[in-house]
Amino acid sequence: MLTCASEHDCVAISLKVIEAVAMRLDALAHLDTDVDEARLRQCNVHYYALRVHLAWIQGRPDIADHLFLNIPDLNTGDCCVLDVCFKVGSSALSRRQYDVAAKWLERGLQQCKLLVSSSKESDVALQNKELLTLHALVRASIYLDTHDSQDSLARALEQLKSQYSNVFSVRLLELELLARGERDVEQYFQGEFSHYH
């Protein structure tokens, strides 16, 4: 409910829901009875992820950053955190805030990597999220001119090319980069020739 409300700019409703969730999570954390700690941790992760999203929607990227850093168990990977990172990054990209977009999309990509490494089998939905995150990260990084952003661009392009080379949107992105002069034409066609032979 919170995600739906916050996506439709019902900030007041979202704030009330978040407040109620915070009180219940706090009460659960202080119960003397047996509480499933794993589920409680997961609820806390989702709570913070939704607070990040709400802070972003409220136009408070500083608060969103602070809340993101307070998400418990960030190094275990979580789909909700991945989704929020992608939404914030995509929103920043559409606003032409390329540095902010790249930061959030990198965070989302890190969540993807953690989820893939912990998964025992291939997950098509996760692969699709990874493809979307990588694609958006490349689109943000092409507008940045720092050494780190160029490294990020090169890594993301390499991953796209190695894992998703036959996806139409990736092929279009490669051609766009070629047209912009971001890629070496000779190297591109050598790669294409070796790809088909």
- Average pLDDT over the chain, rounded to an integer: 82
User: What confidence score (pLDDT) does residue 9 get?
Assistant: 55
Structural contact between residues 141 and 103, judged by C-beta atoms closer than 8 angstroms:
no
- pLDDT tens-digit map of 155-172: 998 999 888 988 998 888
pLDDT at 72: 85
Asked if pLDDT for residue 8 goes beyond 60, the answer is no
- What pLDDT is attached to residue 196? 41
Does residue 187 have a pLDDT over 70?
A: no
Higher-pLDDT residue of 117 and 134 is: 134
Cα–Cα distance for residue pair 36/16, rounded to 1 Å: 26
Mean per-residue pLDDT for 170-196?
A: 66
CA separation, residue 143 to residues 62, 98, 100, 161 (Å): 22, 7, 12, 20
Q: What is the mean pLDDT of residues 131-144?
A: 94
Is the per-residue pLDDT at 150 higher than 90?
A: no
Distance CA(167)–CA(83), nearest Å, equals 21
Higher per-residue confidence, 89 vs 167? 89
pLDDT at position 108 is 96
Binned at pLDDT 50, 70 and 90, residue 193 comes out as very low
Asked if residue 111 has pLDDT above 70, the reply is yes
Per-residue pLDDT, 123 = 83
List % helix, strand, coil for the chain (3-state, nearest 5). Answer: 80, 0, 20
**What is the Cα–Cα distance from 47 to 74, expressed in whole angstroms?**
13
The reported pTM is 0.80
- The tens digit of pLDDT for each residue in 21-70 reads 766 767 666 665 676 777 778 888 888 898 899 999 989 999 999 999 98
Q: Can you say how many angstroms the Cα of residue 182 is from the centroid of all Cα atoms in its chain?
A: 24
On the CB side of 114, how many CA atoms lie within 13 Å of its CA?
16
For residue 186, the model assigns a pLDDT of: 59
pLDDT: which is higher, 2 or 58: 58
